[in-house]
Structure 1
Amino acid sequence: MKTKPFLTLEDVKIIAAAAEAEALANNWAVTFSIVDDGGHLLWLQRLDGAPPVSSHISPAKAKTAALSRRESKIYEDVINGGRVSFLSAPEIEGMLEGGVPVIVDGHVIGAVGVSGVKSEQDAQIAKAGIAALVGTP
């Protein structure tokens, strides 16, 4: 029997605090979500001024990163490259940059998704949150 790490509530709070700090330091109004390795929502936080739709996009990006075990940007790049068939992939809806997996000891234990600013800024916030827990994502 193998074992693997998992996100605790305390871990989620660490990620959330760092993501919030990164967004506020840059004056970015975003929503960020944290999910477990199965894409199940553990945390959603919508900062003041964040667009309402970001509360739907953020968890979708996180779920995509968790289930696929890779950054959601990969899907955006593939689709922009002409492989639009990925738009019909089951259970994957957030195929935009801003979803980043949380990896510990080679195991994907969850993901962070951010929505509300430019995609690369969304990813920056997600990575800042993850870095507070595990170092460089």
Structure 2
Amino acid sequence: MAEKNILAFFKSPEQAKEALEQIKALKLVDSSIDRFDGYPGDGVDRIMNPITSDFPGLGYLTLGGDFPDRDAGILAATSVSASGMSTGGEDNTITGRDILLTIVIEEEDFDKAMAIVQQAGALV
């Protein structure tokens, strides 16, 4: 039997988990829930002190980015989130859809799965 894929973007992990629980009743082959960000890496693993100058740039300090080279760090520092002059939402929370639910499902249940993720608030 053929398989189909769905990439559904949610605002919270809870929304994605709720949709996945409903989809588990169908012929689900594989699934994953991941958070993605516009900046590379998993963040820094130590506290950086701006007084001692123990940080490579503003993007590392305020965004927690793990940039592969100096140019990427400089470009990230141009973000309004890095400067603190603007935020995405209340308490600097992300207001977009940064949770990705990836589903591999049997073709016969594809339409049902699509309806479930859309009812759960996904952007597909």
TM-score (norm 2): 0.32
Higher normalized helix content (fraction of residues): 1
Larger CA Rg, structure 1 vs 2: 2
Task: Compare relative contact order (CA 8 Å, sep 6+) and give the higher one, 1 or 2.
Answer: 2
